Amino acid sequence: MVDVTTRDGNKKEPDGMVSVSPFMAKGVLEGPISKLNDQGNSISYILTGKHSYLDQSSKTIYNYVDTAGIPYGFTDLYGKLSINTGSGSNIDFFGFHYRDNATFRGVTEFGWRTTGVGMDFRVVPGQSQTVIDGNVSYSDYRTEVQEADERPKESAIRGLKYGFDVNGFKTIFEFYNSLGLKVDQNQNTTELGGYVKYRKKFGNLVIEPSLRLQFYASLAEFSPEPRLGLKYNISDNVRVKLGSGIYSQNLISSSSDRDVVNLFNGFLSGPEENLTNTDGETSNSKLQRAAHVITGLEWDVMKNLEANIEPYYKRFFQLISINRQKLFASQSNFMIENGDAYGIDLSLRYRKRGFYAYAAYSLGYVERYDGEQTYNPNFDRRHSVNIVSSYTFGKNQGWEASVRWNLGSGFPFTKTQGFYEKLRLNEGVGDSYQTENGEIGTIFDDNLNEGRLPYYHRLDASIKKKFFLSTNVTLTADASLSNIYNRKNIFYFDRVRYKRVNQLPILPTAGLSLSF
């Protein structure tokens, strides 16, 4: 399900942008169909698109990376039509299509695709304080992985969101576990929800309690979810905030324990079958439930320096995942887990004249218990650092230089103990193990996700110059250098072949863009 919120097109005059580089071409076109008038009425549009041809251009420009080309590609398209009235009422129609792919010859192929259309509206009745919002949208998301000598993994989720808060989606999932047992699902789900929110200010304190009521029609479950938001101004320079609440979810994200680097996430809706919790008892709910508490301190250290501290804790009362302990086809496809996520986010932001700097550090822990062991899921990242700086200078602030550095600790994965010849014997006792052609089977470590991938870090820099050709036309030339110190960051690892595929090496590029 995708909820898209974007700006309207220019309501007064047509404008746009086209850009080319060795990586891709992109463009934006927007303008009025009916110009904004004195009454505030208008009809406008915006169209955007970008397409990567790196897999072709790299054969010549970046042949030091791979003479066959760099195997990444994408196409993104988006369009929106906006009808606005002076009373504040409006209606928007939009559509989008996003496609990404990566193909490594003889190793694996990845594909992601998202398509959607929809509309949303706001009605402001005359001389009334009531605002009525509504929307209808449809999206189709697909992801597929085809590894050499392995069965494909495929997942799709089609969603229809309509009315005031009614969701319907269909999930298609096909997956084979390490024993070759098939796990699949093709299911339709409908959800109905509503909420009420109250906001009150008491001096320096702002309190915002709310209640969300969610009904999962496919599971016949009702979920009341109270939530609370607080913000208190201790002084003109210091503010504290708090957000907490109960949350539920019917959509399940799944991944494969066989993957060293996880690039496939399948989506399923909550199962209708009975589930056994970590105590061995049948659960009375088929939903995923959690409680979140997030606090924060905002501090204006000085005129141009801001600091933000946000500790958080999340308790997952019930999580549903693919049953990795399944040995026989008759066993359940799903299992119940519980767990915790906690950590702290720190950030500093500095602005002065044309200089900008931002630094953030995150420390996080995610733990789950599946009834047999406590483990870290494959998205558990202990440390994360993001530093960005830019400087605008020169005549008419026409020059801009920027630099960015990222660091992330390695994600967990399950180690390999060994390999063996796996005989499928599809015909049962009628097959002969002496003549059966076996496949390579993997023996995994009993301890889930005990391994850690290496750290990721990368430094990028860029500089650009704007040429003001006329009042409404600007030409921008830019040059950039990605992965300046040529860090070999892992992208994918073939466990059986013991073959590693790295992310992009040092890559210089230059481009031109014309805005009008």
Question: Residue 206: phi, psi to the nearest 5?
Answer: -115, 125
pLDDT of residue 163: 44
Q: How confident is the model at residue 29 (pLDDT cuts 50, 70, 90)?
A: very high
14 domain-assigned: yes
Angle at 292 between CA 288 and CA 294, to 5 degrees: 160
Torsion sign over Cα 500, 184, 421, 327? positive
Distance CA 144, CA 308 (A): 39
pLDDT of residue 179: 54
12 domain-assigned: yes
Contact status, residue 360 vs residue 350, Cβ threshold 8 Å: no
Residue 410 clears pLDDT 50, i.e. is over it? yes
* Mean pLDDT across the chain: 85
Q: How confident is the model at residue 187 (pLDDT cuts 50, 70, 90)?
A: low
Tell me which of 462 and 123 has the higher pLDDT: 462
475 domain-assigned: no
384 domain-assigned: no
pLDDT of residue 40: 87
Distance CA 434, CA 425 (A): 11
36 domain-assigned: yes
Q: How confident is the model at residue 157 (pLDDT cuts 50, 70, 90)?
A: low
Range 167-185 average pLDDT: 56
pLDDT of residue 1: 41
Range 432-455 average pLDDT: 85
Secondary structure of 433-467 in HEC code, one letter for each residue = CCCCCCEEEEEECCCCCCEECCCEEEEEEEEEEEE
Question: Residue 190: phi, psi to the nearest 5?
Answer: -130, 135
Per-position b or e across 364-395, b if 16+ CB within 10 A of its CB = bebebbbeeeebbbbebbbebeebbbeebeee
Distance CA 287, CA 87 (A): 42
Range 2-13 average pLDDT: 77
Q: pLDDT tens-digit profile of 259-293?
A: 788 776 667 776 777 788 877 788 888 889 999 99
Q: pLDDT tens-digit profile of 44-93?
A: 999 999 999 888 888 888 877 776 678 888 999 999 999 999 888 899 99
What total of structural domains would you count in the chain?
1
Distance CA 325, CA 183 (A): 12
Instruction: State both tokens at 218.
Output: 């496919």
pLDDT of residue 357: 98
Residue 2 clears pLDDT 50, i.e. is over it? no
Find the helix or strand (DSSP H, E) in which 54 lies. Answer: helix 54-61
Residue 151 clears pLDDT 70, i.e. is over it? no
161 domain-assigned: no
Residue 125 clears pLDDT 50, i.e. is over it? yes
Query: Strand (E) positions, 217-372?
Result: 221-233, 238-249, 251-254, 266-269, 288-302, 305-322, 334-352, 355-369
pTM over 0.75: yes
pLDDT of residue 198: 86
Largest CA distance in the chain: 86
pLDDT of residue 333: 76
Q: How confident is the model at residue 514 (pLDDT cuts 50, 70, 90)?
A: very high
pLDDT of residue 156: 58
Per-position b or e across 246-258, b if 16+ CB within 10 A of its CB = bbbbbbbebbbbb
pLDDT of residue 140: 84
Torsion sign over Cα 496, 497, 498, 504? negative
pLDDT of residue 327: 72
Q: Which domain holds residue 89?
A: 1-124
pLDDT of residue 387: 98
pLDDT of residue 172: 59
Q: pLDDT tens-digit profile of 218-228?
A: 788 889 999 99
Residue 167 clears pLDDT 70, i.e. is over it? no
Distance CA 321, CA 275 (A): 11
Question: Residue 170: phi, psi to the nearest 5?
Answer: -120, 130
Amino acid at 261: V
pLDDT of residue 365: 98
pLDDT of residue 71: 81
476 domain-assigned: no
pLDDT of residue 244: 97
Distance CA 419, CA 309 (A): 47
pLDDT of residue 285: 86
pLDDT of residue 334: 83
Lowest mean pLDDT across 12-21, 161-170, 452-461: 161-170
Residue 466 clears pLDDT 50, i.e. is over it? yes
50 domain-assigned: yes
Burial tier of 80 (Cβ tally within 10 Å: 0-12, 13-18, 19+): buried
Tell me which of 170 and 429 has the higher pLDDT: 429
Tell me which of 232 and 190 has the higher pLDDT: 232
